[in-house]
Structure 1
């Protein structure tokens, strides 16, 4: 511990004060360690206690924030089976565009958000955006036509654009690389489908004599719950170990110290153009960008049309809501299973992702090939489709583990989220109204996209293996490694700038 603290302290003066102050040049973690009191070395029991505290306080807070944002977003699928299309006089592809406009908003909103999340406290910015999208959900019941729905869904998308990038930054700032996949699985778990299905079942029992339409009550409920939590998150959700209200000073010190092995940093408020350019020019960024597009084209279609697909099999609106709940359970189980496997199977995350893509491929093939009169087979296929969440979550952990430098991480996460938005924009458009109720084009698109995901992840695997081989060759140069080990942990350097950085494969 003393050696680590001394190393952090020695690094700070190495930057001339006239050119760049320590707090700007270095990650804030290095400055915090240099100014902290001396503590005894962290024991294995101390580390277990610390991780347990993070898992029981931080992770549920992030889970609730992400889940409520998703509930607001996917409620349109349930609203459709309770009369939204008829009440707003939607026709042709207008409902599909109501699904896609959210992603257009996300792409537009990501441009300013990628800068603001770097300059502002990430948790406070996320929570404020959460309050904003909750207000959009509360306003949707006031819509009278397609134009009003499109406007509110666009602004909702602008505000929700920050969910994945900001939560990814927060998780990377609290957990080691090996610990991140299971936490990603929990935080990004698809509980939204379960909650949305339950709330849909509840509002389905509202009598027809009620003054508002059933779908309007749905949005009022989810918007109110989300707004109430957002206000609490603004106060309590931490950006990093340094301002976590539930950690003691000693625990904060340990939480930062244990992340040195990540070599990805925690927080640095300075916008560094060289890191932004590196993120844009990095081939890893664009491989994961196209992976995000391919994996989220099916997500966009399912998010918007899942209720309609099940309803078209002949079920009532209430039963459709209940049958939609297991989709969230399947997504969550797939995320847990493959994240656990990725954490246990060292340096095989790319292979795990490729294997995980096989389950939704089977689901796509079943839904496409079976007759619609085969209700049991169709439902099995639909549930298997939702296992796509497994490869998506493991894919997020690849970016967290293999990207260093705060500005580079921010820019790369933003680019990846744009890929998420593009995929969700395209997805609803693959479901053509003229092909209802079979929606052949949508399920063919899913099958093709999952196969593309396997190929892209294989390419990413080869890329990082090549980078690791190059770095292994450089390790033979005497003297370079020790110096980099000492100041690389919190020097806010990118992965390509660190001689000892090793990529997770």
Structure 2
């Protein structure tokens, strides 16, 4: 098999055209191109025995030829998978829990008196929550670019160390303006977290394994709710024992924990599996061979304009964007006003309101992995099942919004945690169904922009004039969840139709795929042998 690299006249970036030894074209680009047409371009021939231009292909390509010789039996496969889970999942999951705690601290601090201490009026508290996502929104494209361009884990750990320092600095003053500014900087530094965990998952796990692993690290936000609620409760009931305000103690403790975890990430998590200190050379080859079926590898540090353009023209990208806005309006509102809602609407004391975060977190931390495991075990459609769970959550939001009794409202509030299956479905989709490193970064980035917009708008639905029951905000939860479910169903339908179309195309049979095409950094549109995992 010969690989021809050529430069298309329409785009400035390089394409890869695969040709069989008989000279027959195997089209994996935007359009069919004959040998004569290819010769009209500036062509460089690459082969497994000749010179290689590694900037155009995935970083895993250099190990791909060696990994072909590795025989993977079920015992070896499970041993490597267990090792990856042991060395990666606990730390990645805990740092994602910290990611949630860092954001939720603002809500805990509200119950602990920060609004009074900073003399906040009207909707000023809402803006301290929105400021985080404003910084996230502005910085996210740059964060995604740097994670692609520079070593993955080293770059992320530096971002994490910076957000740890910023959290500690939030305890250094009682100025509303300075606090809001620091919240904006915190959003900038945390804009890298979701991109990092998505890329890391796609580097090490098969498509069929990604959904469960994403559920592990996303559901630990539930552990973050439990940990953060208990920690803030413990600090709040001992407020008279501190020489500074209790909410300042909370920020300092969380900041120091984040600082320690950031240092551990720097030394523990490798930039790619090829650099993994905990894997032998043979195990690294096994990892490469395991992810071959993903049609994507470790990543490519070269920004490819045609992949960015493809992402922008893909309707699924904008459906995910719309979903992210709709889903995160209620998500952002509950994260910032959940404790306040329990206190003002349901009538619980401020400390009791903090404690009710514990059952909410347990529902998310325990329930979501069980759902994800069931989906994987029974081989259900991930997107379709995710949509169905969100539809069920619409009824829970109606209990919160329209329930007459407090216990009905409380049940709806707690069960709404199941809505977090939505991000699990989305991030597992990005990890397994968006090949092409630049396209993956772009699609994930656009989703996270929608995430920021939704979380920025969410707290604004809780207007001071609507206190104490915040009826308009609760109705917004019902409407937004319905829009979210519709977007995921539309994406599922598009992917299913495309899979059927490719199955009917005899030239798209995966058995005809050229050798090592999996690591050529091609997108789902460029690679006709790719199939979406539904």
Which of residues 174, 187, 194 in structure 1 aligns to 2:204? 174
What corresponds to 1:471 in structure 2? 502
Displacement of 1:210 in angstroms is: 2.3
1:400 corresponds to 2:427: no
Displacement of 1:230 in angstroms is: 0.5
Q: 1:464 to 1:438 in 2, by over 3 A?
A: same
Distance, in Å, in 1 between the alignment partners of 2:275 and 2:402 is 54
Contact in 2 for aligned 1:70/1:192 (Cα 8 Å) = yes
Which of residues 220, 238, 254 in structure 2 aligns to 1:222? 254
Distance, in Å, in 1 between the alignment partners of 2:302 and 2:426 is 27
Contact in 2 for aligned 1:342/1:394 (Cα 8 Å) = no
What corresponds to 2:530 in structure 1? 501
Displacement of 1:391 in angstroms is: 2.2
Which of residues 429, 435, 454 in structure 1 aligns to 2:466? 435
1:317 corresponds to 2:350: yes
Greater helix percent: which structure?
1
Contact in 1 for aligned 2:160/2:262 (Cα 8 Å) = yes
Displacement of 1:344 in angstroms is: 3.1
Deviations 1:84-105 (A, max 9, x none): 0000111111111111111111
Q: 1:482 to 1:375 in 2, by over 3 A?
A: closer
What corresponds to 2:331 in structure 1? 299
Contact in 1 for aligned 2:210/2:428 (Cα 8 Å) = yes
What corresponds to 1:3 in structure 2? none
Q: 1:21 to 1:66 in 2, by over 3 A?
A: same
What corresponds to 2:30 in structure 1? none
Displacement of 1:57 in angstroms is: 1.4
What corresponds to 2:104 in structure 1? 74
Displacement of 1:241 in angstroms is: 1.3
Deviations 1:450-499 (A, max 9, x none): 1111211121122112211221232x139x75553423211111111112
Which of residues 315, 322, 347 in structure 2 aligns to 1:283? 315
Which of residues 371, 374, 380 in structure 2 aligns to 1:341? 374
What corresponds to 2:158 in structure 1? 128
Structure 1's unaligned 5+ residue stretches are 1-6
Structure 2's unaligned 5+ residue stretches are 1-17, 22-43
Contact in 1 for aligned 2:68/2:289 (Cα 8 Å) = no
Distance, in Å, in 2 between the alignment partners of 1:470 and 1:37 is 31
Contact in 1 for aligned 2:239/2:245 (Cα 8 Å) = no
Displacement of 1:351 in angstroms is: 1.5
What corresponds to 2:141 in structure 1? 111
Displacement of 1:14 in angstroms is: 4.7
1:235 corresponds to 2:264: no
Deviations 1:184-208 (A, max 9, x none): 1111122211111111121023242
Deviations 1:294-342 (A, max 9, x none): 1111110011001111122332332222111121122223421332233
Contact in 2 for aligned 1:311/1:320 (Cα 8 Å) = yes
Contact in 2 for aligned 1:173/1:266 (Cα 8 Å) = yes
Which of residues 115, 120, 123 in structure 2 aligns to 1:85? 115
Which of residues 276, 295, 298 in structure 2 aligns to 1:263? 295
Aligned residue runs from structure 1 range 330-409, under 5 A: 330-346=363-379, 348-371=381-404, 374-409=405-440
TM-score by length of structure 1 reads 0.92
**What do you get for the CA RMSD once the two structures are aligned?**
2.1
Distance, in Å, in 2 between the alignment partners of 1:142 and 1:212 is 10
Distance, in Å, in 2 between the alignment partners of 1:259 and 1:109 is 31
Distance, in Å, in 2 between the alignment partners of 1:270 and 1:361 is 42
Contact in 1 for aligned 2:288/2:297 (Cα 8 Å) = no
Distance, in Å, in 2 between the alignment partners of 1:435 and 1:391 is 28
